[in-house]
Amino acid sequence: MNDKERDADRERYRRGLPDHHDPTAGIGGAPPARSALTLRLILANLGFVLAVIFGVFAWTRDFPLVVVIVSGVIALIAAINSAVVTRRKLRGEPG
């Protein structure tokens, strides 16, 4: 990939990528949906913190093990989501 193509890709990311997953995008003149990345990042981090706090609370209060495991899985999903959103923001996508 040469510099010109790389610059074109960066400009495309700055403007925002169309949502190819939305089957109704463009119907009735509606613009394609874009993700609010900053909001997603805040919510993912909040979910991670709350899941960890609840998991520790559940572990220390002798809740059933399944509650602790589910809390850990939710924390893991939130951490992965946070990493994905951070990567997209660093790539230059708006939101």
Helix and strand numbers, DSSP H then E, in the chain: 3, 0
For 41-83, the pLDDT digits (tens) are 999 999 999 999 999 999 999 999 999 999 999 999 999 999 9
Every domain of the chain and the residues it spans: 1-33, 35-95
Max distance between CA atoms of the chain, in angstroms, equals 59
What is the structure's pLDDT at 85?
Answer: 93
pLDDT score of 11: 76
Q: CB-based contacts of 38: which residues, under 8 Å, 6+ apart?
A: 89, 95
pLDDT digits (tens, 9 = 90+) for 16-27: 665 555 566 666
More confident residue, 32 or 91: 91
